[in-house]
Amino acid sequence: MIIINILQIILLIYLGLSSFYIFIFGFAGIFNKKSKQKEPLTKRKFAVMIPGYKEDQIILEVAKDALKQNYPTDLYDVIIIADSFNPKTIQSLKKLPLKVIEVSFESSTKAKALNKTMEVISDDYDIALILDADNLMETDFILKMNIAFDNGFIAVQGHRAAKNTNTSFAILDAVSEEINNNIFRKGHRVLGLSAALIGSGMAIEYSYFKNMMKSIKAIGGFDKEIELHMLRDHKRIEYLKDALVLDEKVQKSEVFSNQRRRWLSAQLHYFSKDFITSLKHLILKGNIDYFDKAIQFIQPPRIMLLGFLIVINILSIIWNSPSFIYAWAIVLAACIFAFIVSIPIKFYNFTTLKALFKLPLAFFLMFISLLKIKGANKKFIHTEHSANIENTNK
């Protein structure tokens, strides 16, 4: 009984701190951070780089959409980085007013594709804007990004939102994205910390990005590595809630499982790699941002956190003393509150309620992914995308 209580206290501390962490930043995300400036002082030239691996089904739609920006055409270039595309797709892309960079690697990664591209193109750019091969920008996306750089930031993360909500897993993925947006991006900026990068819909000062990328060797989680690099350098990352880029959400359980396995592996890898260093930076240099990022990596994913807390609360009622019951109930309440305030109102509907019945399966898949993460960060795991998705929110 003593051993069980000790283990329970350890779990209570770990899951409790994780819940109150998202509670604090989730609550902060309710408030709006005022922008210092509304009109751009200068218009920068953007390199819109879109790396894709075997994305023949969707790349033409994405390329054509990227050319529709409400921004001077001579101040942004759309650059499609074509890895293992069909020759017919390459020919179709070359008919559009954009640049096509063909790459091929024995082992493909986004970092390799971006580095190779920046070796080939000129340095006549102010900003590198990175998109995924399924991303669709709102027409004012680059314009809003340009304004944000007038406020002195070296990196800006846009608001990535769901392109599709056509399956239960797509809805859960979309809701999860918005929860993370509120907690790890908007909430952090309200409290004066850096927003988290996502890997797409993000813009970084070009020369800084190019130099930094030379040292990035990540196979999975390249966005985490460049984020850690910037935070070590005391660079602040902005978040623009009103700059939307639409992203395809996973539609099948097997894709969900593979994607989460890659994410979990990357998180644990970078926690073990950077925690001690970030702690030293906190103590010696007062670098809260860097330490905060390392702490994020050891937290359980939101679905797993909720699932564990529900299971533990049920077991607690059956076996525990009142003091533990109340403690676990408070932790669960803090977690649920963070979710409630972080989910946009548009998701409060019957369709989302129906999707919630898939939560137990999602929790199970996450748990299985946790058991299979060994080596997932050392090999490229491609997420397939679909053409002509129904229920596109644009």
User: Please, what is the Cα angle at 78 between 75 and 83, to 5 degrees?
Assistant: 155
Euclidean distance between CA atoms 288 and 281, whole angstroms: 8
Cβ-contact 134, 60 below 8 angstroms: no
Q: Which residues of the chain are under the pLDDT cut of 70?
A: 34-40, 219-220, 253-255, 257, 373-394
When the candidates are 3.90.550.10, 3.10.20.30, 3.40.50.300, 2.60.40.10, the CATH number that belongs to 46-262 is 3.90.550.10
Q: Are strands 136-137 and 127-130 parallel, antiparallel or unpaired?
A: unpaired
pLDDT at 188: 97
- Backbone torsions φ then ψ of 192, nearest 5 degrees: 90, 10
86: number of Cβ within 10 Å: 11
- Condensed to tens digits (0 to 9), the pLDDT of residues 227-284 reads 999 999 999 999 999 999 999 987 776 667 677 777 787 888 889 889 999 999 999 9
pLDDT at 377: 54
pLDDT at 382: 56
Domain boundaries, the chain: 46-262
pLDDT at 394: 45
Per DSSP, 348 falls in state -
